[in-house]
Amino acid sequence: MSNTDQEKWYSKLFDASLPILATLAALIVGAVMLLLLKVDPIEAYKAMWEGAFGSKNALAETLVKATPLLLVGLGICISFRGDVINIGGEGQMIVGAILGTLVGITLVDWSGWIVIPVALLVGFAGGAIWGGIPGVLKAYFNVNEILSTVMMNAIAVQLMNFLLRGPMIDPSQAELASKIPQTARLIDAFRLPRWAPTRLHLGALIAVVLAVLVYILLWRTSWGYRIRAVGQNPHASKYAGIKVKNYVVLALVLSGAFAGLAGAMQVYGVNFRMITDGSASGFTGSAGFNGIVAALFGQLHPIGTIPASILFGALLVGANKMQRVVQVPSALITALNGLVVVFVVSSEIWRRKRQKRRMAATAPGGEGIFPAETEITEKPDNEEVGS
């Protein structure tokens, strides 16, 4: 037995190193791009490192950026494990933020102890609704969730623009000619506690706690078990008596809910109001997309997503510093994030090869709950084995 334990330990290390290698590859490509832009890559990356980790404040900013990535990423872990691809994080964040903000700007006479939790829960629910619609469309009308979530993003942006220019506009802005599309500012009592003097807020801690809860949900409850079963093999799940459609909807509802919470938390922890520049990323900072990157990087494991989010938070914060020091637009980081995604999903091939070899080495049929459908289910799911 010790032999297989050793094998497991070794292959886990190998699996964990793949994303790191993928990032290194992306950074090398980035270095080539920097050289082409006639910028010293070492200087640029040094500026990034200092921007992300160089001081207490830099580190706090990194964690502030990492928080929405982690929350969105947790939702992605749930949906992708259920073989549901949720691209709608941006829209779900926006709707969660809108509803969460509404709580804070209407219940001004209430205590912060009530308003903050209620607002975060309302944001959670808002994201759940915005994710649930594509879920129902997929389960009952066979509409591809990738497309519907993208459409829902576009609709959410326009909804935000409409509300912030009209019904929800800051009353003081409504009187001015400039009419900046923003809501009223939350009163001080409604702000999440901060680790002064930095901007690091309680939300970061909440997100980490939720990561543990999502881990328990996915691997220690029957809901989570069924979501993963449906993701691995919908046909076998159906035969096993699982109501597949319900779990498809549930996966998207939960996935949307975490993004919605991320949106509300940006308002209560960072900005204290909603403001729009007309685009989705103007509010979300593209966390709805980058959360996908973080979750993939964390191998769709809630705990793995924690360091992954910090890494990508660091890249985003570091990019700003790099922009100031060596005048390289932070758009470089968006491009590199894209490459990381491509490299990570491409490197899956080596993990699958190893897994296949391991399966061949152990007793036939001894692995997993369902008959292996290696051709179709190519999801990273090695924790499944033997747990």
Partner 1 sequence: MISDLLSMTVLVGILTSGIRLATPYLYAAIGETFGQRSGVLNLGVDGQMLLGAFAAFYVAITTGNLWLGVLSAMIIGGLMGLAMAFVTVNLHAEQGISGIGFYLFGLGLSDLLFQKLLGTVETVKGFRKVFIPVLSDLPVVGEIFFRQNILVYIAFALVPIAWFILNKTTLGLKIRAVGENPEAADSLGVSVARIRYFTIILGGTLSGVAGASLSIALLNVFQQNMTSGLGFIAVALVYFGAWRPWGVLAGALLFSLVNSLQLWIQVLGIPIPSDIAVMMPYILTILVLVATVSRVRAPSALTKSFGHDD
CA count, 13 A, side-chain hemisphere, 297? 29
Q: Judge whether 88 and 134 are in contact, CB under 8 Å.
A: yes
Nearest approach, Cβ of 137 to partner 1 (angstroms)? 6
- Compute how many other C-beta atoms are within 10 angstroms of the C-beta atom of residue 356: 12
CB closer to partner 1, 145 vs 201: 145
Q: Which two tokens stand for residue 40?
A: 């010293």
Give me the 277-306 binding string for partner 1, x by CB under 8 A, dash otherwise: --x-x-------x--xx--x----------
Site for partner 1, residues 233 to 272, rule: CB under 8 A: none
Q: Which two tokens stand for residue 108?
A: 């001004």
- Compute how many other C-beta atoms are within 10 angstroms of the C-beta atom of residue 228: 23
Among 338, 362, 369, 386, binds partner 1 (CB under 8 A): 338
d(CA 321, CA 319): 5
4 binds partner 1 (CB under 8 A): no
Q: Judge whether 185 and 105 are in contact, CB under 8 Å.
A: no
The site for partner 1, by CB under 8 A, has a size of 54
CB closer to partner 1, 37 vs 372: 37
Among 43, 45, 53, 85, binds partner 1 (CB under 8 A): 85
CB closer to partner 1, 153 vs 305: 153
What residues have CB less than 8 Å from 15, skipping those under 6 apart?
Answer: 299, 351, 354, 380, 382
193 binds partner 1 (CB under 8 A): no
Q: Is 295 helix (H, G, I), strand (E, B) or coil?
A: helix
Q: Judge whether 97 and 267 are in contact, CB under 8 Å.
A: yes
Q: Judge whether 72 and 214 are in contact, CB under 8 Å.
A: no
342 binds partner 1 (CB under 8 A): yes
Nearest approach, Cβ of 296 to partner 1 (angstroms)? 7
CB closer to partner 1, 12 vs 357: 357
Among 6, 111, 144, 362, binds partner 1 (CB under 8 A): 144
CB closer to partner 1, 54 vs 282: 282
154 binds partner 1 (CB under 8 A): yes
Among 349, 362, 369, 371, binds partner 1 (CB under 8 A): 349
d(CA 99, CA 96): 5
Closest CA to 325 of 116, 51, 104, 105: 51
Q: Please give the residue ranges that form the binding site for partner 1 (CB under 8 A).
A: 33, 37, 85, 87, 137, 141-144, 146-148, 150-155, 158-159, 161-162, 165-166, 279, 281, 289, 292-293, 296, 328-329, 331-342, 345-346, 348-349, 352-353, 356, 375-376, 378
